[in-house]
């Protein structure tokens, strides 16, 4: 059975049962990656357009691989190769893409709300691949899948999310998803990078990284989102790294079986020491591998299982 909704725009919109369905479908699709011939006919005859107007390595590549493994026709449109650079609006670009009858447009944009705007304007399914500081729903889903895979369940687990919470769509989506799945979340970072009133999202706030990471099941480190900063939020990278960078030393108070996550791209030596990123607790590359499975599940549930047409 597919999702009954037309679009995937935000984790905040999803019921826990829908998250469960996506994770279960993704788990069953992981096996395709180990096949000699990585191809199933689930989306044969469907067209997916990846409209990426902001840089991406993991999300764009994994949506492309996901669509191709499901036999969809996948077309990539990037910022520099689109007519947006000639002054066309996002909605006009999208309406022109719609005129070519795709089944799904996957969109990444620097403006919060861009995916919602396209969802209102277009008949085909829209998947939000990251909109400004708002949400990055498939990132949170692949993070949840990775945690569930490693721990066997989600309910009752505790997570510390550390770094630039204020500008992070990954934090916003993960907080929403983790709370819906019965997990407890503590955020930590420089006071200037913790949004006022974040407790209303159901999270605790720790002032020090060492306090946040003590005894949690999962530590999720975030990149400083310089591209979204309109002012100097930290005195220097060196100071940030000293106080909020995850080193082996700072991991001393953490659990022996803690999972260390990062959505990427990692700035080694800033938010995380190389020996932590590459160490035994790190599941960063498992997250990337699970990104393909989650994106296969999302595309299948939106446009395959129920046959949504443009």
Task: Give the interface with ligand CP as residue ranges (CB under 6 A).
Answer: 56-59, 130, 136, 139, 263-265
Number of Cβ within 10 Å of residue 182's Cβ equals 12
CB of residue 215 vs ligand CP: minimum separation in angstroms? Answer: 27
Tell me how far CA of residue 226 lies from CA of 38, 176, 233, in angstroms. 37, 23, 10
Question: How large is the greatest C-alpha to C-alpha distance in the chain, in angstroms?
Answer: 57
Tell me how far CA of residue 241 lies from CA of 122, 238, 273, 289, in angstroms. 43, 5, 9, 28
CB of residue 79 vs ligand CP: minimum separation in angstroms? Answer: 13
CB of residue 129 vs ligand CP: minimum separation in angstroms? Answer: 7
Cβ–Cβ under 8 Å, residues 71 and 300: no
For ligand CP, the closer CB: 195 or 264: 264
Torsion of CA 26, 28, 29, 32, to 10 degrees: 150
For ligand CP, the closer CB: 129 or 187: 129
For ligand CP, the closer CB: 63 or 244: 63
CB of residue 140 vs ligand CP: minimum separation in angstroms? Answer: 10
How many residues comprise the chain? 310
CA 149 to chain centre: 17
What's the N-to-C CA distance of the chain in angstroms?
19
For ligand CP, the closer CB: 60 or 180: 60
d(CA 222, CA 36): 35
CB of residue 61 vs ligand CP: minimum separation in angstroms? Answer: 8
For ligand CP, the closer CB: 130 or 245: 130
CB of residue 272 vs ligand CP: minimum separation in angstroms? Answer: 14
For ligand CP, the closer CB: 130 or 177: 130
Name the residue among 69, 73, 74, 30 with its Cα closest to residue 52. Answer: 74
CB of residue 128 vs ligand CP: minimum separation in angstroms? Answer: 11
d(CA 136, CA 257): 27
By DSSP bridging, strand 184-188 and strand 47-52 are: unpaired
Residue nearest ligand CP, CB atom distance: 59
For ligand CP, the closer CB: 169 or 250: 169
Tell me how far CA of residue 172 lies from CA of 5, 40, 71, 185, in angstroms. 21, 33, 32, 11
For ligand CP, the closer CB: 187 or 294: 294
Angle at 168 between CA 64 and CA 18, to 5 degrees: 60
CB of residue 242 vs ligand CP: minimum separation in angstroms? Answer: 25
């Amino acid at each position: 059975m597919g999702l009954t909704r037309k679009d995937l725009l935000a984790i905040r919109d999803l019921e826990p049962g829908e998250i469960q369905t996506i994770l279960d479908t993704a788990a069953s699709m992981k096996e395709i990656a180990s096949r000699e011939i990585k191809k199933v006919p689930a989306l044969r005859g469907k067209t997916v357009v990846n409209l990426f107007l902001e840089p991406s390595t993991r999300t764009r590549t994994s949506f492309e691989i996901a669509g191709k493994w499901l036999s969809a026709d996948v077309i990539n449109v990037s910022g520099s190769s689109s007519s947006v650079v000639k002054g066309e609006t996002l909605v006009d670009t999208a309406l022109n893409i719609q005129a070519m009858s795709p089944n799904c447009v996957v969109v990444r944009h620097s403006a919060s709300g861009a995916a919602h705007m396209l969802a209102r304007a277009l008949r085909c399914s829209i998947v939000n691949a990251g909109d400004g500081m708002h949400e990055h729903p498939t990132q949170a889903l692949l993070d949840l899948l990775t945690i569930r895979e490693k721990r066997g369940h989600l309910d009752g687990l505790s997570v510390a999310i550390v770094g630039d919470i204020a500008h992070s769509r990954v934090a916003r989506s993960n907080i929403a998803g983790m709370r819906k799945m019965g997990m407890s979340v503590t955020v930590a970072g420089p006071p200037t990078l913790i949004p006022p009133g974040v407790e209303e999202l159901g999270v605790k706030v720790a002032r020090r990284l060492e306090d946040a990471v003590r005894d949690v099941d999962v530590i999720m480190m975030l990149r400083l989102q310089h591209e979204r900063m309109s002012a100097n939020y930290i005195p220097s990278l060196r100071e940030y790294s000293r106080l909020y960078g995850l080193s082996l030393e700072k991991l001393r108070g953490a659990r022996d079986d803690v999972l260390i996550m990062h959505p990427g791209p990692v700035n080694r030596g800033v938010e995380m020491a190389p020996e932590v990123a590459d160490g035994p607790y790190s599941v960063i590359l498992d997250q990337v591998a699970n990104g393909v499975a989650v994106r296969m599940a999302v595309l299948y549930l939106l446009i395959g299982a129920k046959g949504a047409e443009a």
